[in-house]
Amino acid sequence: MSHQWLALDRFGLAGSKPAREPALLTDFTALPFPSSSLDLVVLPHTLEFSVDPHATLREVERVLVPEGRVVICGMNPTSLWGFKQSRARLCRRFGHGSLFLPEGGDFIGYWRLRDWLRLLSFEVEQGEFGCYSPALRADKWLQRFEWMDRFGARWWPIFGATYFLVAVKRVRGMRLLEPAWKPKPALVGKSVPVANSARGRYSNLEKKLE
């Protein structure tokens, strides 16, 4: 892509250092882009840490062009990872244990997110789940449960710890026109021998009438 920007909010800036320097420090509920100006928006765990995920999605819908796409990555609450995180939070209320994942952020369910997108006239184009093994830190135990990642997509696909979702912005009653700079194939004129043969038949008929 010729133009792309990495944007962070105050939560992303306070976390680990990104792979490259961000171009924007902004509030995701008020993106500094004109309406209908972007073709693609990628939200890697952005909604989970957003103060208002509904407002963030509305802002994404505003800046996307018709037929533009949004790619969303999130943590699945109905998974082994989500269960461990919920249990750890419950234990912390009684002063025990520690969290497996970062403390900030709330998991948003896959089907719940689809409902939000549908209300904003998005059409979900593709959705995938991944990471079916338990939330473990030791390499020995991760290797023992490696078979769960191989069979999870077939036997329990909706219980993956993470999900990716691609949605398209639909605008009803709008027809997209091709860019003016795209060349159109020129029509090449060809001779039509049928016309010549027909003219010859008419000439012969006139001679007979004479």
**CA-closest candidate to residue 169, choices 60, 67, 63:** 67
Please state the φ and ψ torsions of residue 170, each to the nearest 5 degrees.
Answer: -105, 135
Against a cut of 0.85, is the pTM above it? Answer: no
Task: Give the DSSP letter of residue 126.
Answer: E
Query: What does the alpha-carbon distance between residue 7 and residue 74 come to, in Å, rounded to a whole number?
Result: 17
Per-residue pLDDT of the chain (210 residues; tens, 9 = 90+): 456 767 776 555 445 555 566 667 778 888 888 999 999 999 998 998 888 999 999 999 999 999 999 999 999 988 888 888 777 777 777 777 677 666 666 889 999 999 999 999 999 999 999 988 887 778 888 788 888 888 888 888 888 989 999 999 999 876 655 555 556 665 555 555 544 544 555 455 454 445
Rg over CA atoms, the chain? 29
